[in-house]
Amino acid sequence: MTERPIPLRARLAASFIDVSPEWGVVAASKLMGAAARARLPRLVSRPAIAAYCRYFGVDLDDVDAASHSTGYDSFDAFFTRRLRRGARTIDRASAAIVSPCDGLLREVVQIREGVTVNAKGTAMSIAELVADEEVARRFEGGWAATIYLHPRDYHRVHAPCDALAEQVILVPGRLLPVTDAAIERVPSLFTLNERLVHILDTVHGTMAVVMVAAFGVGHMSCVYRHISAHPREIQRVPCEPPPRLRKGDELGIFHLGSTVVLVTEPGVEPIDLPLPAPLRLGQAILQGRGKP
Q: How far is CA 254 from CA 80, 155, 250, 268, in A?
A: 7, 6, 12, 27
Q: Which of 224, 266, 223, 263 is nearest to 128 (CA)?
A: 263
* One-letter identity of residue 92: R
Asked about 102 being catalytic, the answer comes back as yes
Active-site option among 45, 99, 188, 258: 258
Asked about 132 being catalytic, the answer comes back as no
How far is 124 from 129, CA to CA, in rounded Å?
Answer: 8
> Residue 229 gets which letter from DSSP?
S
Query: Do residues 228 and 258 touch, judged by C-beta distance below 8 A?
Result: no
Asked about 61 being catalytic, the answer comes back as no
Active-site option among 155, 158, 219, 255: 158
Q: How far is CA 131 from CA 172, 210, 241, in A?
A: 10, 11, 22
**Quick one: which H or E segment has residue 201?**
strand 195-202
Q: How far is CA 240 from CA 50, 164, 167, 265, in A?
A: 43, 10, 9, 23
Active-site option among 102, 198, 219, 255: 102
How far is 150 from 104, CA to CA, in rounded Å?
Answer: 7
Query: Do residues 253 and 220 touch, judged by C-beta distance below 8 A?
Result: yes
Enumerate the active-site residues: 102, 158, 258
